[in-house]
Structure 1
């Protein structure tokens, strides 16, 4: 009887070892699959979602020229009141630190005709870090014509001077009409930005929204 019990004691550990040996490859296989999935995910392409405000139709062309227009009813305000508020905003824009002081100014200040305009030459920054600065000089005009209860503001005559001070390559001087329109800055389907002119298009639209939004806020109307 003792011999039988002793034999059974020898068999049970071996069965336990056999079971552990069988389970080990399963865990290893599972781990291998997980690692493979993780490595694969690192190389998967992600689709960048582009805000619709930068895509087809975002840059209007009027008679061959790029012109952004803000037409707003301003209930309860006289032409003089609207004029004063718009002029204040343009004066603030002209005084911003990104402006070229010798170039940017309020060029038209005619309250009698309720027309105010500014000529701007400023730096648009695409990317800035401790080691590099990617930017372009952006030239444009803002022209506001107001009447009782209404504002008509345009942003037009836009152009870019890019990397003109570099000695290792030729810089670029171009107009908005030849660089940020749908034809130049989007693919044929109109759902992707050009690798080169796309950043100019986006920054220009952002700047337009910034200025038009500030004017609307000053007038107490929605942009």
Structure 2
């Protein structure tokens, strides 16, 4: 999963062309058997998070009580229906992300954001540890305008907590989700299928003060 690819995001004009046809997946979560594809149960919410390599990131969230289902994929770029290989070139503009569907009566967005911040180093720009490239950047893509104030509050509070420890500033990208493209089947719930597989999650050790 190591990459020495582009640290610069492409433009819409320079990004890879992609394709009209989505990558085909089974749609069934390997761990809990639920559908990774919409529609989801009424009242459930969605958030898309990127914190480096999506293998370990997905496991972090599928293990959390109140999370209904997860899926890994690509978001934040220009290329429609990209492949993993294309995303890793840095020429699609996408980040590796986890689509999290959750029941807000069991777990709130602040709890998910706390796990997000504490599981990685959001100060590193276009990398996460030894994983280097724009696809590994830290991102939060909201799916509801009501999510944005909670995300901004958590961003500001964790940025302050990191600065107090002289660990730098948060570089996490925050934006409304434009499109989520499912990754290939073998990436879905990868660490459940390959327990000894690579997991690059490594936090800063700084607790998130989100309330």
**Category of TM-score, reference length = shorter chain:** under 0.3
Q: Which of the two has greater helix per residue?
A: 1
> With structure 1 as the length reference, what TM-score do the two structures score?
0.23
Which structure carries more relative contact order (alpha carbon 8 Å, separation 6+)?
A: 2
> With structure 2 as the length reference, what TM-score do the two structures score?
0.24
Q: Which of the two has greater strand per residue?
A: 1
- The structure with the largest alpha-carbon Rg is 1
